[in-house]
Amino acid sequence: MGPETRTEMVQCLEESQADFLEAVSGVTEAEAKAHPQAGRWSVLECVEHVVTVEERFFGRLEKAPREGAPPGNKEHEAELQTRVTNRSNRAEAPEPVRPMGRFASLAEATEAFKTARARTIGFAEIEGHEAYSRAESHPRFGPLNGAELLIIIAGHARRHAGQIRELHAELAK
């Protein structure tokens, strides 16, 4: 996603949503709650985590000041896309975004994801290039502009779509 148009921002978010929804589409409710290995999240817990992170990041983005943001940088954006989706580097989720049993079913969690993503996409459609003026910081990625935070939101869902596919494959064995 480059700084040229809001269309790129929206497209990045929509493609990530489609990837995430495709990953959960073949998972049954029973599979969604199963833990294929001790210490690993279930599919339902992954979806809950993605929803929680998106809601929190969106809240931060919506309230982010419109001054002091790092300038747009296509190389940094590309690096963020790669880094966020790369599952070879496991990361421990901070306590506030760990699954807590928020959703009773995969269907409920998936609807919450759709709702959260619709809100994020709506913001990107309205904000467009102005997202670059929003200043935010992330403990792992440092100072960010709003467009970079949108990239992280999109990439985070893709990252966990990969995890969901791995979990589903393990459950199918």
Q: How many angstroms separate the CA atoms of 1 and 10, rounded?
A: 9
| Contact assessment for residue 144 and residue 1, using Cβ atoms and an 8 Å cutoff | no
Q: What pLDDT, on the 0 to 100 scale, is given for residue 5?
A: 54
Please report, for the chain, the start and end positions of each structural domain, with discontinuous segments joined by +.
6-172
What's the angle, vertex CA 41, arms to CA 39 and CA 44, rounded to 5?
155
CATH fold label, 6-172: Four Helix Bundle (Hemerythrin (Met), subunit A) (1.20.120)
The residues, any chain, with a CB within 8 Å of residue 156's CB and separated by 6 or more, are 50, 53, 54, 57, 84
119 pLDDT more than 90: yes
Name 120's bridge partners. Answer: none
Interatomic CA distance for residues 124 and 6, integer angstroms: 6
Lowest mean pLDDT among 1-10, 103-112, 117-126, 132-141: 1-10
Q: Over pLDDT 90: what percentage of the chain?
A: 80
Q: Which residues pair with 136 in a beta bridge?
A: 144
Nearest alpha carbon to residue 160 among 38, 59, 27: 27
Most confident of 8-12, 113-117, 137-141: 113-117
Using an 8 Å Cβ cutoff, are 2 and 78 in contact? no
Least confident piece of the model among 75-84, 85-94, 120-129:
85-94
User: What is the mean predicted confidence (pLDDT) over 21-43?
Assistant: 93
Provide the whole-model pTM. Answer: 0.94
